[in-house]
């Protein structure tokens, strides 16, 4: 989804607004939008004449016959999206064109019509969704200009497996000179020690501590990870998802260069330790608990990628 929708400037407002959508999500074909073609191929859509719909809705085009979708699932879909402006009604993007299905988390951050609509189709099914400006929270409606109504057709390909709880695989005994990682086993957090008199490496160094057996991370994916970060030489910890009690989830393309370069190609299930020089971290810009020009050290468990 992020790869296709990244080109749509309006979509973060409508599509990712937390808690958005009306409580009385409408279903059925009352919008008059017609979808042609079978799931598995790029659909074509015919729009009715007149003004675009102003109320969000969904319609099950084909229910599918595979596994049911539940709230909390990460569904893998092929999607196509149009601007319904009552004029050109132009297509805005399709994963059938990019040949890369997208993953959507079915949770409260989706508009209500999609939270409900996805649970009405199974794997192999097709869902039509109309997202009008009533999907935008009222506060944002007043401060943001109105956007054209969006029309989505989703073909459900499958469901992303749940993220792991911790790294799982074979320990490699690899390490970075001056850095120590202790693996307690199971789902317990590793211990990272960075107090050392060794000179920090001038380049990015990545070592595999536990080698996972999952698919390799791709640069355009979103990751679920557990991690601890410390400053080289001081053993000063500045962040830890382990201590917060839940994994972090983010697009790999949206984090510092050291993470982007260091985690691309790492198999899911792996635990890696990374030494990141300032030019691939925060450079001469001081951050909370991170002095300027710091070499950063992370131990990272790659729990999922989608």
Average pLDDT over every residue of 251-264: 96
Average pLDDT over every residue of 105-124: 93
Question: Would you say 122 and 140 are in contact if contact means Cβ atoms under 8 Å apart?
Answer: no
Average pLDDT over every residue of 211-238: 95
In a domain, 165, yes or no: no
Residues 6+ apart with CB under 8 A from 73: 105, 106, 118, 159, 160
Question: Would you say 205 and 299 are in contact if contact means Cβ atoms under 8 Å apart?
Answer: no
Same structural domain, 126 and 252 = no
pLDDT of residue 136: 61
Which of 160, 192, 216 terminates a domain? The answer is 160
Which of 106, 139, 160 terminates a domain? The answer is 160
Q: Which residue has the higher pLDDT, 164 or 134?
A: 164
Same structural domain, 179 and 140 = no
Residue 17 has pLDDT above 60, yes or no: no
pTM summary value = 0.69
Measured distance CA(48)–CA(143) in Å, rounded = 30
pLDDT of residue 30: 63
Q: Which residues pair with 250 in a beta bridge?
A: 223
Same structural domain, 16 and 150 = yes
Asked which of 43-52, 139-148, 193-202 is least confident by mean pLDDT, the reply is 139-148
Buried b (16+ CB within 10 A) or exposed e, 273-302: bbbbbbebbbeeeeeeebeeebbbbbbbbb
Could you tell me what percent of the chain has a pLDDT over 70?
86
Same structural domain, 13 and 131 = yes
Same structural domain, 136 and 177 = no
Same structural domain, 93 and 175 = no
Which of 140, 160, 180 terminates a domain? The answer is 160
Average pLDDT over every residue of 27-33: 68
In a domain, 89, yes or no: yes
Same structural domain, 241 and 106 = no
Residue 9 has pLDDT above 80, yes or no: no
Q: What is the CATH number of the domain that holds 183?
A: 3.10.50.40
Our count of domains for the chain comes to 2
Residue 268 structural domain: 170-305
pLDDT of residue 162: 86
Please write the tens of the pLDDT for every residue from 61-106.
999 999 999 998 999 999 999 999 999 999 999 999 988 888 898 9
């Amino acid at each position: 989804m992020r790869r296709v929708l990244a080109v749509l400037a309006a979509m973060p407002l409508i599509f990712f607004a937390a808690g958005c959508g009306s409580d009385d999500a409408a279903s059925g074909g009352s919008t008059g939008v017609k979808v042609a073609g079978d799931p598995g191929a790029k659909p074509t859509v015919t729009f009715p004449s007149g003004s675009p719909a102003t109320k969000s809705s969904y319609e099950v085009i084909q229910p599918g016959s595979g596994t049911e979708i539940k709230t909390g699932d990460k569904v893998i879909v092929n999607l196509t999206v149009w601007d319904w402006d009552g004029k050109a009604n132009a297509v805005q993007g399709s994963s059938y064109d990019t040949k890369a299905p997208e993953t959507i988390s079915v949770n409260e951050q989706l508009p209500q019509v999609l939270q409900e609509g996805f649970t009405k189709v199974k794997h192999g099914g097709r869902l039509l969704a109309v997202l009008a400006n009533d999907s935008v929270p009222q506060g944002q409606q007043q401060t943001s200009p109105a956007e054209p109504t969006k029309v989505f057709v989703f073909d459900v390909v499958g469901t992303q497996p749940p993220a792991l709880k911790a790294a799982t695989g074979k320990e490699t005994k690899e390490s970075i000179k001056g850095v120590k990682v202790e693996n307690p086993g199971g789902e317990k957090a590793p211990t990272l020690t960075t107090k050392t008199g060794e000179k920090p490496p001038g380049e990015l160094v990545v070592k595999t501590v536990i080698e996972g057996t999952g698919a390799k991370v791709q640069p355009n994916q979103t990751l679920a990870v557990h991690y601890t970060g410390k400053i080289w030489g001081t053993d000063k910890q500045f962040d830890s998802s382990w201590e917060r009690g839940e994994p972090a989830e983010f697009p790999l393309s949206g984090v510092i260069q050291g993470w982007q370069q260091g985690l691309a190609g790492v198999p899911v299930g792996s635990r890696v330790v990374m030494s990141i020089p300032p030019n691939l971290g925060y450079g001469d810009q001081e951050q909370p608990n991170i002095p300027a020009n710091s070499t950063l050290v992370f131990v990272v468990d790659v729990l999922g990628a989608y």
